[in-house]
Amino acid sequence: MLLDHIGVRGLPHEKVTTALWRKIQSLVIAVEGELKTSDGRLMGRLDLLLADVDDEGKLSGWVVADFKTGRAPEGTLKSEVNRQLLMYRDILLSNNPNAPPVIAEGWYTKTSAKWEAKGENVLEQAFAAWEKTQPTALPMAPQIGDESCGGFCDWKAWCPHWWKWRSDNGTLHKADFADAVILLHDVDLESGAAAIELCEPLDDSGRVLPSGVRNSAKFDGRGLEALKELLDTGHQGPIFVGSVMTQGRAWRIGHWCDVLPWDPIPDDIEYHREY
């Protein structure tokens, strides 16, 4: 692919001369270079930046080459790959206002195919996306539903909404792997055997109503370690347990489970992180 960049095609590797290799090297501007906007908000890492020269050897442009080891595109570059390459191009251009024309290419090593990214400048969109990653003082509007809360969500220990939603639609504690808020009545920290009480939501703020329903449970592996760590902090209140295996006589809270204090963040309380 490098030989192709200087217009040499079909040359067996053993015929590559030092002079040819030097020529390629003379066109390399950067290898594994960091790309960063001047305000530090957007970053990327380019594999290779090459100079392009015309027939007289005069600089005619820059080529950002990003190596891709996956399957080469069929027909067109995937939109996310196209966007990534354009972002590299546009960061480079924003940092080098006097740069020659810049193109960005995906270099697919399996087939030696080169695909040029096409499109308008993407930096404005990229900055808008960056803004959306910033923490907000108030929790963002919940996206309650089967697709979101019903699946895997990392934030359940801090979010009251999945709980009320499950309680209202009658699916609380019903699945083979269920999330729950429990009270711990008794535990043997050697064996992990425990007596727990299932809780229900009092309202949509996450306040707890003990249900009187008792279950036996077995904490083990990382699940037991997490419980010990939690108890070591002096925690006494309700506990969030995520993805508990509910089939069988005792609930199984193993290495795949979250075990965290139940302390959801209400929707209307401003939260300011202290740095």
Six token digits for residue 180 = 């729950």
CA distance 70 to 45: 18
SS3 of 240-274: the string is EEEEEECCCCEEEECCCCEEEECCCCCCCCCCCCC
Does 262 sit near ligand SF4 (CB under 6 A)? Answer: no
191 touches ligand SF4 (CB under 6 A): no
**Residue range at the interface with ligand SF4 (CB under 6 A); choices 8-16, 70-78, 147-155, 240-248:** 147-155
Candidate residues 35, 48, 104, 149; the one interacting with ligand SF4 per rule CB under 6 A: 149
Q: Quick one: which segment of 96-104, 141-149, 169-177, 233-241 binds ligand SF4 (CB under 6 A)?
A: 141-149
Query: Which of residues 118 and 174 has its CB atom nearest to ligand SF4 in the complex?
Result: 174
**Shortest spacing between CB 201 and ligand SF4, in angstroms:** 13
Stretch that binds ligand SF4, among 68-76, 88-96, 140-148, 213-221 (CB under 6 A): 140-148
Beta carbons within 8 Å of 176's beta carbon, 6+ residues apart? 245, 246, 247
Answer yes or no whether residue 167 interacts with ligand SF4 by CB under 6 A: no
Please give the backbone phi and psi of residue 157, each rounded to the nearest 5 degrees, phi first.
-70, -15
By DSSP bridging, strand 239-245 and strand 177-187 are antiparallel
Using DSSP's 3-state secondary structure scheme, residue 101 falls into: coil
Interacting span for ligand SF4 (CB under 6 A) from 6-14, 45-53, 54-62, 153-161: 153-161
Residue 42 vs 159, nearer CB to ligand SF4: 159
Give yes or no for residue 107 binding ligand SF4 (CB under 6 A): no
Footprint on residues 22-51 left by ligand SF4 (CB under 6 A): none
Is residue 161 involved in binding ligand SF4 (CB under 6 A)? Answer: yes
In the bound complex, what is the minimum distance in angstroms from residue 150's beta carbon to ligand SF4?
Answer: 8
Determine, following the binding rule CB under 6 A, whether residue 240 of this chain makes contact with ligand SF4: no
Measured between alpha carbons, how far is 198 from 180 in angstroms, rounded to an integer?
7
Q: With CB under 6 A as the contact rule, which of the stretches 107-115, 142-150, 166-174, 197-205 interacts with ligand SF4?
A: 142-150
Kind of pairing, strands 177-187 and 102-108? unpaired
Is 77 or 159 the residue whose CB approaches ligand SF4 more closely? 159
Q: What is the largest CA-CA distance in the chain?
A: 86
Question: Side by side, which strands form the sheet with 113-116?
Answer: 28-36, 43-53, 59-68, 102-108, 113-116
Cα pseudo-dihedral 30, 33, 37, 40, rounded to 10: -150
Q: Which residues bind ligand SF4 (CB under 6 A)?
A: 142-144, 148-149, 153, 155-156, 159, 161-162
